Amino acid sequence: MDTRQQALFIIFGGTGDLAKRKLYPSLFELYEKGFLKENFAVIGTARRPWTDEYFQEVVRKSVTVEGTSKEDADEFAQHFYYQSHNVNDTEHYVTLQKLAQRLDEKYSIGGNRLFYLAMSPRFFGTIAEHLKSQKIVTDNGYNRLIIEKPFGHDLPSARELNDSIGRYFAEDSVFRIDHYLGKEMIQNIAAVRFGNNLFRALWNNRYIDNIQITLSEALGVEERAGYYETAGALRDMVQNHILQIVSLLTMNMPASFTESDIRREKIYALKALQVYTPEQVEENFVRAQYAGTSGLKGYRQEEQIADDSKTETFVAGKLFVESENFSGVPIYIRTGKRLAKKTTRIDIVFKDVPKNIFGPEKLGKNILTIIVEPEGEIYLQMNVKKIGQNFGLQVQKLDLLQSENDDSPVPEAYEKLILDALRGDATNFTHWEEVAYSWKFVDAIRTAWDKKEGPLVEYTSGSMGPHEADDLLAHDGHKWVFSAED
Ligand code: NAP
């Protein structure tokens, strides 16, 4: 028997949105693909007084889409058990320990446990402590803690949170989820960079002019307004997803494609981020809020948002990784809500050829674009000859649309990450040191912003942000490769 298929999942926040929308469907996919078979069980816990039967019904519903086999969904749901549990109440952990022990025996699980904390981080320390003190962690198998963002709201709070977990779980058993790391095209960055001599040779400050990273959303804050008002785009998107992408784009080639070597290089890249002074923040970062339009509320008019809120729904910035290979390469980032289009993309803009023998017209730029969403795509912009008697050049794109070249279904990020956690592979999870260096960078920006008086600039819904975000690049003689018209 493959012991990696033996696992007891204990999901804290088992009645919540994340569990229903992402975790149960991902576990079902793993079940359907044979990564989970007979020897697994799932305990869902939360305060609501659900029964096992009701919980199984919720699970069946959440995994059923068009074409789902009813028989498979029924069989899968039978592995699910519910325990009503307030995480602050020690008594409940006693019951949980007994249930876990019973299921471990019933399904011959051998002590392997994955604790998924799909709830507010303010409970993480308490849960970790009780898992240890009430002996819900086992001696005979592995015990892994999977935790969700946000990991703190600044470096001191993140450190406090990390200490509260670290007292009971060693770093190598803590799996911090950043679901962007489970995305197929984000994982493709390493394949493109280190699998092709062409790019390996060019991937440095001698050939790369600038890098652009865009994570744009078309929707406003919607039902997440309460949380968003306390976070803002900088904490919600830059501290984690964007800086993780920056580290994957700028890390040195790892000695091997293994967890420890990759993480070492990512940590080094994040450590090399230039941390800004307040004056540099002013020069290099832009924040803004979306304005209302006819029919759509502006950010400050949304429910649960203060009339004088200074929470940014858009950030653009220029940052530098001061490593040997990337020193001097501007990395432009932007993210925001109510923008022209939902997309995640990376544009690597290469330097011009040293001498243009075709002049006087300027040559088009070589740009490598990696589109992560909505559909996985990679293209390379090149100059080629225009067909005809005369010699003229034109810009063309070599295009690789993932879905056209490979019809294997793209697995959900959560599915891939849960499988990694089952296998004990933390490559695509965030190490504490990555979290710490990211906060250090972000805190410098937040601190400078918090001292600034006056309202934020506004941008039109459906645009790509305020003109200040374009000015940031124009100032360096650059422009965003992706625009609202694309
Ligand atoms: P949610 O829908 O509000 O779920 C929170 C869960 O915690 C519920 O199951 C709730 O159930 C339970 N809970 C709250 N207080 C409890 C207590 N004292 N004891 C026991 N259970 C308690 O939140 P969510 O959207 O699923 O998010 C969960 C975590 O994932 C958050 O940290 C969030 O930031 C993160 N996250 C979520 C998403 C997403 O797509 N939803 C994406 C990224 C990260 P009861 O009310 O029944 O107790």
Over residues 466-484, the mean pLDDT reads 96
pLDDT at 293 over 90: no
Nearest atom of ligand 1 to the alpha carbon of 88: 18
Choose which residue among 120, 147, 149, 430 to substitute to test ligand 1 binding: the one with the highest number of ligand atoms within 8 A of its C-beta: 120
pLDDT at 353 over 80: yes
Instruction: Output the pLDDT for position 400.
Output: 87
Domains of the chain: 7-148 (3.40.50.720), 181-410+432-474 (3.30.360.10)
Name the residue at shortest CA distance from atom 32 of ligand 1. 120
Instruction: Output the pLDDT for position 402.
Output: 75
Choose which residue among 10, 11, 15, 18 to substitute to test ligand 1 binding: the one with the highest number of ligand atoms within 8 A of its C-beta: 18
92 is annotated as contributing to ligand binding: no
Angle of CA points 116, 122, 124, to nearest 5°: 35
Q: Are 40 and 3 in contact (CB under 8 A)?
A: no
pLDDT digits (tens, 9 = 90+) for 374-420: 999 999 999 999 999 989 999 999 998 777 767 677 788 999 999 99
Nearest atom of ligand 1 to the alpha carbon of 86: 19
pLDDT digits (tens, 9 = 90+) for 295-348: 889 999 999 999 999 999 999 999 999 999 999 999 999 999 999 999 999 999
Instruction: Output the pLDDT for position 138.
Output: 96
Q: Which of these ranges, 107-116, 407-416, 457-466, has the smallest mean pLDDT?
A: 407-416
Instruction: Output the pLDDT for position 409.
Output: 72
106 is annotated as contributing to ligand binding: no
Instruction: Output the pLDDT for position 405.
Output: 67
DSSP of 349-401, one letter per residue? Answer: EEPPPS--TT-SSPPPPPEEEEEEESS-EEEEEEEEEPSSSS--EEEEEEEEE
Q: What is the mean pLDDT of the chain?
A: 95
> Which are the catalytic amino acids?
241
Measure 253 CA to ligand 1 centroid, in angstroms: 38
Beta strands in 4-94 (DSSP E): 7-12, 40-46, 80-84
Distance (Å) of CA 264 to CA 66, 268, 269, 441: 43, 6, 9, 18
179 is annotated as contributing to ligand binding: yes
Nearest atom of ligand 1 to the alpha carbon of 120: 32
Taking the model in full, what pTM does it have? 0.96
Instruction: Output the pLDDT for position 379.
Output: 94
Over residues 34-47, the mean pLDDT reads 96
pLDDT at 83 over 70: yes
**Partners of residue 40 on adjacent β-strands:** 7
Distance (Å) of CA 432 to CA 127, 233, 438: 19, 21, 10
Q: Is 54 helix (H, G, I), strand (E, B) or coil?
A: helix
Residue 3 binned pLDDT confidence (cut-offs 50, 70, 90): low
- CB under 8 Å to 245, separation ≥6 — which residues? 180, 186, 189, 213, 346
Measure 121 CA to ligand 1 centroid, in angstroms: 9
Measure 224 CA to ligand 1 centroid, in angstroms: 12
460 versus 1: which is more confidently predicted?
Answer: 460
Q: Are 237 and 313 in contact (CB under 8 A)?
A: no
How many other CB atoms are found less than 10 A from the CB of residue 399? 12
Q: Which of these ranges, 2-16, 187-201, 425-439, has the smallest mean pLDDT?
A: 2-16
Measure 118 CA to ligand 1 centroid, in angstroms: 5
pLDDT at 477 over 70: yes
Residues with CB under 6 A from ligand 1: 13-18, 46-48, 85-88, 118-121, 148-150
